[in-house]
Amino acid sequence: MTKTDDVMPPPFGLGWSGGPDLDPAKLICRACRTHPRDMEEYRQMGRENQMSPEGFVWMYEGTLDRTTGEFLCTPCYDAYIQAKASAASFPRRAQRRRMWRP
């Protein structure tokens, strides 16, 4: 993979944000602050889809906020889901009181 592959725009002539505001280099994981070009998962998916890692994130990443360029990579998203699941398994104090009152 060459350096030019890392900065290739998304396919079909689509802009990054519908305008020149968001630079593809600004795509970053919100939690671990890692760029897609530095993650093996996105490099591999980009190669399989014949696009750059940034292009893959722009086209297919469901957690991407297109206004800020922030997304959650798979390990961070999994950690987020686990944290939400553990918090949801413990009812809040008010809910516990209501559960036990007649």
Place of tokens 């297109």: 66
Q: pTM of the full predicted structure?
A: 0.65
Q: What is the pLDDT of residues 57-70, one digit of tens each?
A: 988 999 998 888 89
Percent of the chain at pLDDT > 90 equals 42
Average model confidence (pLDDT) across the chain: 76
Is residue 10 within 8 A of residue 59, CB to CB? The reply is yes
Q: What is the pLDDT of residues 30-56, one digit of tens each?
A: 999 999 999 999 999 999 999 889 989
At 1, the pLDDT band (50, 70, 90 cuts) reads: very low
What is the residue type of 37? R
Q: What angle do CA 38, 61, 53 make, to 5 degrees?
A: 30
CA dist 37 to 58, 77, 80, 93, Å? 12, 18, 22, 44
